Structure 1
Amino acid sequence: MMWSLSICMVSFIFLMLSSLISLFLGLHCIMSDMVVFIEWEVFQVNASSVVMTFLFDWMSLLFMAFVMFISALVIYYSDEYMYGDLMINRFILLVLMFVLSMMFLIISPNLISILLGWDGLGLVSYCLVIYYQNVKSYNAGMLTALSNRIGDVALLMAIAWMLNFGSWNYIYYLEYMSMSVEGGVIGILVVLAAMTKSAQIPFSSWLPAAMAAPTPVSALVHSSTLVTAGVYLLIRFNNLIVETGVGNYLLLLSGLTMFMAGLGANFEFDLKKIIALSTLSQLGLMMSILAMGFPKLAFFHLLTHALFKALLFMCAGAVIHNMSNSQDIRFMGNLCSQMPLTAVCFNVSNLALCGMPFLAGFYSSDIILEVVLLSWLNSFSSFLYFFSTGLTVCYSLRLVYYSMTGEFNFMSYHPLSDESWGMLSGMLSLMVMAVLGGSMLSWILFPNPVMICLPVGLSMLVLFVSTVGGLLGYEMAKFSLSSELYSLSKYMGVTFLGSMWFMPYISTVGVNRLPLLGGRQMLSVFDQGWSEELGGQMLFKESAYYSQLVQWWQDNNLSMYLLSFILWVIILVILIV
């Protein structure tokens, strides 16, 4: 056990120091407007050299700093959370491999080295989702892995298509690619890859299923690593996506994802799945603002969202621990009096998610919505933006109502208390960042003031939508508690909205019934049917038959009969003569 404690502490100290170094280097790059491009020649064969390239600019260094900071706190938190696990060393090493894959992805200006980090994330995420070995985890792991394979294939095709430009360092060719047909094809493939990794419609079903992983993994995956990889890739490829027209389709799909996830979270009772759907909604927001051509805003929201979402998952883990591993919010209640420090962190992260003024989420989400109002955007997309914002506040206050107020509904004899100092210190550190991180990042990323001038009605629209959404969520939560038959009376509608528009069924049963079973039929009829019957199997059967005939001819006594017959004929001929 001592070695497991030491590996946690060593990982925590190393990641925290690396995060500080990366942060200071990133600030230096911003102030001096510096970009460092490093090429490392791995080996050379004749005239061909294999070169590894790394890009260190303000964006990659800041993102690395945030990823390592959150990873350090998650590992420190895991030391207490996974205390009873005999294989905690393996768990910590898997998390470190996960972070290393993300580092590869962040600092790569090259599609080949991006694929290293991309596939590393996919493989290690599969190992972490099936960490608790049961049937549900295995199914979730397969759904996660197979959904992400589609994006991996798209990235491989983009790598093949990049041969048209003579190099895989896409960073040099973005402007030229945006003016060519090949660039449009690469843009489509990159968007497809990003949509699978960031779980946009129609690939959304794997994200809530991945909640089968341990909660510290969820805190890491849903804040700054796996799901943000697609957003980060599109931030790098943003010029190409906006100028080739692929962004219009991405805007529609990401807006629908935001809307669908917000609706689904209002009908969900699993604590971790509510937070997962919240992540999906925020990813839709980042993707949609990227599709409109504002990569810096998307990056700003990516960093602020990472802070409060990791804190939200950590608080959820502490609550689940106290609830004897129950995740149903209907069993919770009155947690604010039993677990005051955890409740404070939980409420701060929830308010930051809602966009409460002067918390981390406010600075990014408010400016995004104001930019949306200033842009030439159709009414349907604007409706999706603002209605989804109202839904975010709606499910957040519904979650607070179920978990923090009322009576505790689980057991009369319960061990509710704030968790040990190891978990609390990680949560409190993130809470400080969830309060201060947004303002500090806005000063760093937007040092020059920009005037956003809107009419009073539009300026107050965000506040109005949030207030109405919060009141509606609170009233709906009370109404569904008082009326037990409400969900049953509206069963079809509630099932449709609460199951992500039947997407999990389509991704599993639908894919199994139509393409996979159809493929099996084709295999049995063609590959293993007529082509075998008239091809290889026919040759095999015919040659086997003739070889058996020859063998029978050689093995039986026919030759002896012929020899004796010939001898008798000779004897008769001699006697007659």
Structure 2
Amino acid sequence: MPLVTWNLLPVLIPIALILCGLLGCREKSTSVAQTAVWLSRGLLCLYGLNLAAYFFLSTPEPAQQLLRHTELSQIMLALIVIMSWVLFRFSRNYMNGQANLPRYYRWLMFTLASVAVTVMSNHLVLFWLGWFCISLSLHNLLTFFPDRPRAILAAHKKFILARIAELTLLIAFVLLYQQHQSVYISSLLSSLTEPLKMGQPLAWQDQLAACLIALAALIKCAQLPFHGWLIQVVESPTPVSALLHAGVINLGGYMLLLFAPLVSQSAPAIWLLLIVAGLSTLASSLVMTTRISVKVRLAWSTSAQMGLMLLEFALGLYELVLLHLLAHSFYKAYSFLNSSNAINDYLRLALCAPTKYQANKPVFPTMKDWSLALIIATFCVVAVRFAFHFDSAFSTWWLFALALSILLVQWRSSEHSVSWLRSFVTGLALTLIYAALKSLMWFALPAETNHVAAFSYPDIWAMSLFTLLFTINLLLHYQIHWPWVRRLSMTLFAGLYLDEWVTRAVLKIWPVTLPARSKQKHSTSPSQLSLPKHY
């Protein structure tokens, strides 16, 4: 078989999804769920052939072609295929008996096909069309339950914000084409690396395009204040939430990795990401601690994790961005699909007999425990960082040290307390695993990357945010009786009131008609209310 044919194997994945969505998901189809499961198995086999062809039959690629065959695109394509298999298998039982089931599977397949086209594209127009089709297909999934007012309102806000992101991305691509006279992404990136080697600044068209791409990524990743729709789309079916949080929302990070040679050279774009994503990480992480609903907590967690991923990109830690993207995808897919088991876990704990430890008052860690935990965590981080010769930003290592210290204190305060020696060995092992995974991601990234120096202004900004997050989280957990901490907790419970302002602005720009059932419920006058007979 010619090598050109092997290079076209990835194209069969979105083609199969589109054809199955058109032909296999007709309105009167009764076996659409089983068809989707068999399709996912076929996609796994097809990707296996594609991966073998990429490693054993790959040839040097011309710069001007529609598709990209890189390690990064192969990883993203693997993520899409695995998520397709998981979601189709889960939906077979979860969506069984639902009305309009063929419509659900059709738009799910169209969404996955659009994501596959986007991550494989090497053409600006094809990339933008894939980005646009993702939003349109996802909109039909978010409105699968048309009688839920919150779902309709969230989808409406998402629709408007998506159009803004697509418009900014379109303007950025037009500027890049005018400046470089090429629509092929690989050619653009090659031309952008030459000024970097010669120390020349970017042209104003490239600077503006970099800022617009960064803005589109911030909107796509639901950063504050564009986060409200992400919190409210939990009204959609659980597989749709898993697809959104585990796959679609990560595309902002992938786009930044793709255009890293451009965005990394623009100081305004980098500081835009540092400020907006950094503050979003801080606020979303704190708001998440005030939520009770499992899905809502996961939604706020997604906003915080996406902010942290964009912050890592601004610090030049591209290998950490890729690791974060993959880990977050699998974690959020599992968390959403397993969210219904929270009831079983609660009942299991309620039926268990209270232990002696549970009957006593909770044990609060002392200042000595916190000091020792922080010293151990900092030593592990500094030792491993020095051993692996990491010379990039220190802020993410500082975040790891803070998280590790919290984990060590929790172990010491648990019913079966762990010795400090065992805590040290475990902490050192976790730090080594983190460093090894961080180093492993380098094989999928370009050799030339712009790292931010340790303790530079961007690094100090990130360290300050992480320290503030650590401090406020401890105050909310242990000093909630302080008046100002209690007021802060109430403000965080209200989501900092940011989404209310955005919702009002969106409804003024483009009003939406809520479902008839909701309108009838809210428009009922007091005279129409009927009281019980005993009144």
Task: Please classify the TM superposition score into its range, dividing by the shorter chain length.
Answer: 0.5 to 0.7
List aligned pairs for 1:439-450, cutoff 5 A: 445-446=441-442
Aligned amino acid, residue 508 of structure 1:
T
SS in 1 for 2:67: strand
- In 2, the alpha carbon distance for the partners of 1:335 and 1:372 equals 47
Secondary structure in 1 aligned to 2:76? Answer: helix
Establish whether residue 109 from structure 1 lines up as the match of residue 105 from structure 2.
Answer: no
Shift of 1:273: 1.2
Letter in 2 for 1:249: L
Q: Partner residue of 2:181?
A: 166
Q: Is the 8 A contact 1:144 1:209 kept in 2?
A: no
Is the Cα contact below 8 Å between 1:23 and 1:62 reproduced in 2?
Answer: no
Out of 498, 504, 529, the residue aligned to residue 509 of structure 1 is 504
* Inter-partner Cα distance in structure 1 for 2:253 and 2:114: 16
User: Which amino acid in 2 is paired with 1:503?
Assistant: L
1:173-322 aligned within 5 A: 173-174=188-189, 176-177=191-192, 179-224=202-247, 226-245=248-267, 246-319=269-342
Are the structure 2 counterparts of residues 337 and 499 from structure 1 closer, same or farther at C-alpha, using a change threshold of 3 Å?
closer
- Separation in 2, partners of 1:296, 1:251: 17
2:78 equivalent in structure 1 = 65
Counterpart AA for 2:40 = F
Deviations 1:86-141 (A, max 9, x none): 32222122111111010111011222111111111111111111111221111011
Task: Indicate the RMSD between aligned Cα atoms, in angstroms.
Answer: 4.5
**Distance change in 2, residues 1:442/1:208 (3 Å):** same
Q: Deviations over 1:537-574 (max 9, x none)?
A: xxxxxxxxxxxxxxxxxxxxxxxxxxxxxxxxxxxxxx
Equivalent residues of 1:242, 1:291 under 8 A apart: yes
Does the 8 Å CA contact 2:388/2:435 hold for their aligned counterparts?
no
Q: Which moved more, 1:487-496 or 1:194-203?
A: 487-496
Q: Which residue of 2 aligns with 1:144?
A: 158
Q: Which amino acid aligns with 1:54?
A: L
1:323-402 correspondence runs (5 A): 333-335=346-348, 374-375=391-392, 385=399
Kept in 1: contact 2:145–2:236 (CA 8 A)? yes
Q: Secondary structure at the match of 2:66?
A: strand
- What is the alpha-carbon distance in structure 1 between the residues aligned to residue 261 and residue 398 of structure 2? 24
Deviations 1:510-550 (A, max 9, x none): 4546x679xxxxxxxxxxxxxxxxxxxxxxxxxxxxxxxxx
Secondary structure at 2:271 match in 1? helix
Matched, 1:15 2:43: yes
Q: Deviations over 1:136-175 (max 9, x none)?
A: 1110110111111111110111232233121221321235
Q: Equivalent residue of 2:125, what SS?
A: helix
Superposed counterparts of 1:387-536, under 5 Å: 445-446=441-442, 493-512=488-507
> Which amino acid is the alignment partner of residue 266 of structure 2?
T
- 1:312 deviation in Å? 1.0
Q: CA deviation at 1:13?
A: 1.2
For residues 300 and 211 of structure 1, do their structure 2 counterparts lie closer, same or farther at Cα, with a shift above 3 Å needed? same
Please report how far the alpha carbon of residue 300 of structure 1 lies from its aligned counterpart in structure 2 after TM superposition.
2.1
The answer as to whether partners of 1:259 and 1:387 remain within 8 angstroms in 2 is no
Distance 1:131 1:219 in 2: 15
2:104 counterpart residue number: 91
Tell me if structure 2 keeps the 8 A contact 1:258–1:285.
Answer: yes
* Alpha-carbon distance in structure 2 between the residues aligned to 1:24 and 1:367: 35
Question: Relative contact order, CA 8 A, sep 6+: which one is greater?
Answer: 2
Shift of 1:267: 0.6
Instruction: Give, in angstroms, the shift of residue 81 of structure 1.
Output: 0.9
After TM superposition, the score normalised by the length of structure 2 is 0.64
Cα offset, 1:371, TM superposition = 10
**How many percent of aligned residue pairs carry the same amino acid?**
21
TM-score scaled by structure 1?
A: 0.60
1:374, 1:495 → 2: CA distance?
A: 41
Distance in 2 of aligned mates of 1:508 and 1:94:
26
- 1:464-501 CA distance string (max 9 Å, x none): 99xx899959966xx98xxxxx8999775334213332
CA–CA distance in 2 between the matches of 1:4 and 1:369? 55
2: CA distance, partners of 1:498 / 1:370: 43
- CA spacing shift, 1:376–1:383, aligned 2, 3 Å: closer
Alpha-carbon separation, structure 1, partners of 2:132 and 2:486: 40
Deviation, 1:338, is 8.5
Q: How big is the shift at 1:78?
A: 0.8
1:501 alignment partner, SS class: helix
In the alignment, is the contact (CA less than 8 A) between 1:175 and 1:240 conserved in 2?
no
Task: Flag structure 1 segments of 5+ consecutive residues without an equivalent.
Answer: 40-51, 323-331, 340-365, 402-436, 449-453, 455-460, 481-485, 518-577
Q: Is the 8 A contact 2:320 2:441 kept in 1?
A: no
Question: Could you tell me how far 1:259 is from its partner in structure 2?
Answer: 1.0
Question: Which letter does structure 1 place at the counterpart of 2:126?
Answer: S
Alpha-carbon shift at residue 306 of structure 1 (Å): 1.3
**2: CA distance between counterparts of 1:113 and 1:369?**
44
The corresponding residue for 2:137 is 124
- CA displacement, residues 198-247 of structure 1 (integer Å, 9 cap, x when unaligned): 112332222212222211111121112x1111111100111211112121
Flag the 1:203–1:253 CA change in 2: closer, same or farther, 3 A.
Answer: same
Quote the offset at 1:260 in angstroms.
Answer: 1.2
| Contact 1:20/1:65 (<8 A) preserved | no
Asked whether the 8 Å contact 1:267–1:497 carries over to 2, the reply is yes
Q: CA offsets, 1:19-49, max 9 Å, x none?
A: 43455456659xx8x664597xxxxxxxxxx
Q: How many Å apart are 1:372 and its aligned residue? A: 13
Amino acid in the other structure paired with 2:35: I
Q: Following TM superposition, by how much is the alpha carbon of 1:335 offset from its aligned partner in structure 2, in angstroms?
A: 4.2
Q: Distance in 2 between matches of 1:146 and 1:387?
A: 40
Relative distance call for 1:391 and 1:3 in structure 2 (3 A) is farther
Q: Which amino acid aligns with 1:445?
A: M
Mapped partners of 1:35, 1:312: distance in 2: 40
SS of 2:495's equivalent in the other structure is: coil
Q: Aligned-pair distance for 1:440? A: 9.6
Return closer, same or farther for 1:202/1:291 CA change in 2, 3 Å cut-off: same
Q: Distance in 2 between matches of 1:197 and 1:391?
A: 33
The answer to whether the 8 Å contact 2:319/2:439 transfers is no
Q: Distance in 1 between matches of 2:386 and 2:244?
A: 26
The answer to whether the 8 A contact 2:221-2:250 is kept is: yes
For residues 68 and 334 of structure 1, the distance between their equivalents in structure 2, rounded to whole angstroms, comes to 35
State the 1:4 CA deviation: 2.7
CA distance in 2 between counterparts of 1:260 and 1:120 reads 31
Partner of 2:516: none
Cα distance change of structure 1 residues 109 and 286 upon mapping to structure 2, 3 Å threshold: same
Deviation at 1:299, TM superposition (A): 1.3
Instruction: Give me the whole-angstrom Cα distance separating, in 1, the residues matched to 2:473 and 2:309.
Output: 26
SS, match of residue 252 in structure 1: helix
Q: Aligned letter for 2:323? A: F
Which amino acid in the other structure matches residue 337 of structure 2?
M
In structure 2, how many angstroms separate the alpha carbons of the residues matched to 1:22 and 1:496? 51
CA distance in 2, matches of 1:7, 1:196: 35
